[in-house]
Amino acid sequence: MIPASDRQLLLVVGAPRSGTTWLHHMLAAHPAMASMEEELTVFTYLALWDRRFQTEKANLDQGRWRQGAPLLYGESEFYEGLRSLAEHAYARLLTRKPSASHLLDKHPDYARHLPLIQKLFPNAKVIHLIRDGREVVVSMMSAKKRLGFGAGEIQGATRHWVTNLLAARQAEKLLGAGQYMEVRYEELKAETTTRLKAVFDFCQLPVTDDFLLRITEEYDIRNKQVSRGDATLNRMRDKPGAIWQAKLSLEERWTMDRLAGHLLQDLGYSKPGWWALRPGDNLRMAYLSNLRKLKNTLGSAKHTWMHSTPQRSALPSTQ
């Protein structure tokens, strides 16, 4: 089997529905790249072993109980085994293109496994695609409704966006210089050839203008939609803010601001009070918020009353 250890490993990460599949497919079109259209989820598998090993090792080290792989393997030996599993998978991928100098893999949740990735492949390069979280949550909730996966409500979708984005940004500290790159989805969409060339330069892969133009046209969403996105949103994609303004309700916007407003502002996507689109939205939300608090209070009072009232005897009447 072809060894994978001497190839450059490239990983595309980001929150789900951030355009990672789109970027992955464009990068995979390079002749020096070995990749698959599907997600391999290699590090999702290995992360389960990693967590289990660390839990059992902590139990062993702290004298709680003795069980598991740490009884047989030292830490470095165990992680060498995990590296071998990953390399075996990538070696199989290389059989599809033996001449490839680069291996490309993508999964949004790889963002959560970057410490493990750095431990196993210290020379890996990470490309982090960032998209306006308001559009991300709209797409996540749409995917749940249409395809059955992901978070289907505003709180879960927002937390997923925040968690993946912040985790991926840790790669800049974990990895060495020149191994982490951030790409904004909005800039990639507006200036695809220019931004894509910058990504290929980061990967140290030469490209021609003709190649970039061909890939840009081929993977334009009007010609090819690769991520099972909601096609009904396509007509709004060229107008900044149109998607979330049309699809997020007042309560959803307010909730997202409470959970991630500071991050949206730090990234330059919003300003304070962005969620109030129309005159009177602040008053309407104050009313809805107070109404929600009242309902919660009444619900708690009802629950307390029902559980504190002596229960009537369940015995049948003697009359």
| The residue to which tokens 């002749």 are assigned | 31
pLDDT classification of 313: cutoffs 50, 70, 90 = very low
Structure-token pair, residue 299:
């619900």
CA 159 to chain centroid:
10
pLDDT classification of 233: cutoffs 50, 70, 90 = confident
Of 23, 38, 13, 215, nearest to 126 by C-alpha is: 13
- DSSP run (H or E) holding 229: none
Mean pLDDT throughout 66-85? 96
Please tell me the predicted confidence (pLDDT) of residue 240. 86
Q: What percent of the chain has pLDDT over 90?
A: 72
Structure-token pair, residue 160:
């997923």
pLDDT classification of 152: cutoffs 50, 70, 90 = confident
Q: Do 23 and 105 contact (CB within 8 A), yes or no?
A: no
Q: What is the pTM of this model?
A: 0.87
Q: Do 224 and 38 contact (CB within 8 A), yes or no?
A: no
Mean pLDDT throughout 233-257? 90
Mean pLDDT throughout 152-174? 93
Amino acid code (one letter) for 123: N
Please tell me the predicted confidence (pLDDT) of residue 69. 95
Mean pLDDT throughout 221-230? 76
Question: Is residue 246 over pLDDT 70?
Answer: yes
The SS3 of residue 73 is coil
Mean pLDDT throughout 222-241? 78
Structure-token pair, residue 165:
């984005």
Structure-token pair, residue 268:
């330059």
Query: What distance in Å separates the CA atoms of residue 168 and residue 118, rounded to the nearest whole number?
Result: 12
Name which of 5-19, 82-96, 148-162, 281-295 the model is least confident about: 281-295
What rounded mean pLDDT belongs to the chain?
90
Q: Do 160 and 112 contact (CB within 8 A), yes or no?
A: no
Query: What distance in Å separates the CA atoms of residue 289 and residue 225, rounded to the nearest whole number?
Result: 39
Question: Is residue 167 over pLDDT 70?
Answer: yes
Residue spans of alpha helices (H) in the chain: 20-28, 42-61, 75-94, 114-120, 133-147, 154-169, 171-174, 185-190, 192-202, 209-218, 242-247, 250-266, 281-308
Bridge partner residues of 180 (DSSP): 126
Amino acid code (one letter) for 11: L
Residue 126's region, left for phi above 0, alpha for psi from -120 to 50, else beta, is beta
pLDDT classification of 288: cutoffs 50, 70, 90 = confident
Q: Encode 282-299: b = buried (16+ Cβ within 10 Å), e = exposed.
A: eeebeeeeeeeeeeeeee
Q: Which backbone phi and psi does 215 adopt, to 5 degrees?
A: -65, -40
